[in-house]
Every structure is written in C-alpha cells, then in structure tokens.
Structure 1
Amino acid sequence: MNTVLWGIAGALALAFLAAGLMKISQPREKLAASGMAWTADFSPETVKTVGAVEVLGAVGLIVPAVLGIAPALAAWAAIGLAATMLGATVLHLRRKEASALPAALVLFVLAAVVAWGRLGPYAF
C-alpha cells in the first residue's frame, strides 16, 4: 500500500504542480479563454494565490517525505489539496459547470486517500 500511496502522491503532485504553475504564470484572461471560465469571476491575485496553494501542496506531498524532514507534512499537504478541491467542486456546482466536476472530484478523492493513508495505517 505504501507504493500505491507514493504513486498517487506523485500523480497528484504532477497534476497540481502543472495546474498551479499555469495559474501563476499566465494572465487571468488567457486562463479564462483556455477553458478556466471561473477565473473571470476572481481577481488576478486570487487566481495566482490558488496557483501558489496548488504548487505548495504539490511540493508538500513529496519533498518532506523524501527528505525525511517532518514527513507528516505530506499528510497535511494532502488535506490542504483535498480542501482546495472541495472548494473547486462547490465553485463548479454553483457555476453549473458539470464538465469540470469529475476532475475536481477525482482529485479530491485521491488527495483524501493520501491523507488517510499517511495519517493512519501507512504513516511515515
């Protein structure tokens, strides 16, 4: 199970790193035009903050455990990313963006599984 959790954490880290870097590096208008319509409803600072949270969460899933420095932070990063995706799910429900819900829910579940595993039976 430890290998499965590492695999899930790695996939999550890649997904959140890519999404976060995109939100940090691209203007809000470009993000909205590329399919992230929700960004038009928020300030550029808010969009960049969401991106920074995603990048920090991605780093937190992997780096503390690999370095052996406060490896419990990986579980807390997973909790933070699960909360982020719960917020994204609520946002997409309110905006009636059904096409965005499956990805948000899958990422939420995967982050919750990593949090459960790392806080519970498969803690570092």
Structure 2
Amino acid sequence: MNVAVWIVTGVLAALFLLAGLMKLTKSKAELVDAGQGWAGDVPDDVVRLLGAVEMAAVLGLVLPGAFDVLTWLVPVAALGLIVLMLGAIVTHGRRREYLNMGTNLMLLAAAVFIAVERIGPQRF
C-alpha cells in the first residue's frame, strides 16, 4: 500500500507543480484563455499567492518523505491541499464551471487519500 500512496503523491505533486508554475508565470489573460476564468476576477497577487501555496504543497508532499525528515509535513501539506480544493470547488461552483469542479473533486480525493494514509496506516 505504501507504493500506492507514493504513486498518488507523485501524481498529485506533479499536477500541482504544473498548476503552481502556471499561476506564477502566466498573465491573468493567459490563465483565463487556458480555462481559468476565475483568475480574471481576482487580483494578480491572489493568483500568485495561490501558485506559491501550490508550490509549497508540492515540496511538503514529496521532500519530507523522500529524505525522511519532518515527515509530519506530508499529511499537513495534503490537508492544506484539501482546504485549497474545497475553496476551488466552491469558487468554480459559483461560476458554474462544472468541468473544473470535477477536476477539483478528483484532486481533493487524492489529497484525502494521502492525508488519511500518512496520518494512519502508512505513516513514516
């Protein structure tokens, strides 16, 4: 089961790495054109902050377990992504962006899986 948790962790980290980099490097117009319509409704600083939070979560998901240091950060990072995805689901729901909500639900499920496993049976 530990291998499955690592696989889900790697996939989730890769997806958030891409999403975070996109928010940190693309303009609001480019984000909106890429299907992230919410970005047009919030200040640039908020978009950049969300990208930085996603990048921090990537580091928290992978590095502690990989180096066996401060491993309690892995479930904390997963819990942070849970909160982030709940906010994203609400935001996309209000905007009637149902496809994005589905993506957020899948990411939420992966983060819940990691948090539960790393707090419980598959902790380091």
State TM-score, norm by structure 2. Answer: 0.97
Q: Secondary structure at the match of 1:70?
A: coil
Instruction: Answer yes or no: is 1:11 the counterpart of 2:11.
Output: yes
Q: Which residue of 2 aligns with 1:115?
A: 115
Partner amino acid for 2:109? Answer: V
Shift of 1:68: 1.1
CA distance in 2, matches of 1:100, 1:65: 30
| Mapping 1:1-124, distance limit 5 Å | 1-124=1-124
CA distance in 2, matches of 1:58, 1:3: 18
Write out per-residue CA displacement over residues 20-65 of structure 1, whole angstroms, 9 at most, x where no aligned residue. Answer: 0010011111111221101001000000100111111011100011
Q: What 5-or-longer segments of structure 1 have no aligned partner?
A: none
Partner amino acid for 1:107? Answer: L
Partner amino acid for 1:87? Answer: G
Work out the number of aligned pairs and report it. Answer: 124
**Aligned-pair Cα RMSD in Å:** 0.7
Partner amino acid for 1:112? Answer: V
Partner amino acid for 1:106? Answer: M
Shift of 1:69: 1.0
CA distance in 1, matches of 2:72, 2:6: 14
State TM-score, norm by structure 1. Answer: 0.97
Runs of 4+ residues over 2 Å off in structure 1: none
Q: What 5-or-longer segments of structure 2 have no aligned partner?
A: none
Write out per-residue CA displacement over residues 41-99 of structure 1, whole angstroms, 9 at most, x where no aligned residue. Answer: 10000001001111110111000111111011011001101111111001111111111
CA distance in 1, matches of 2:47, 2:21: 11
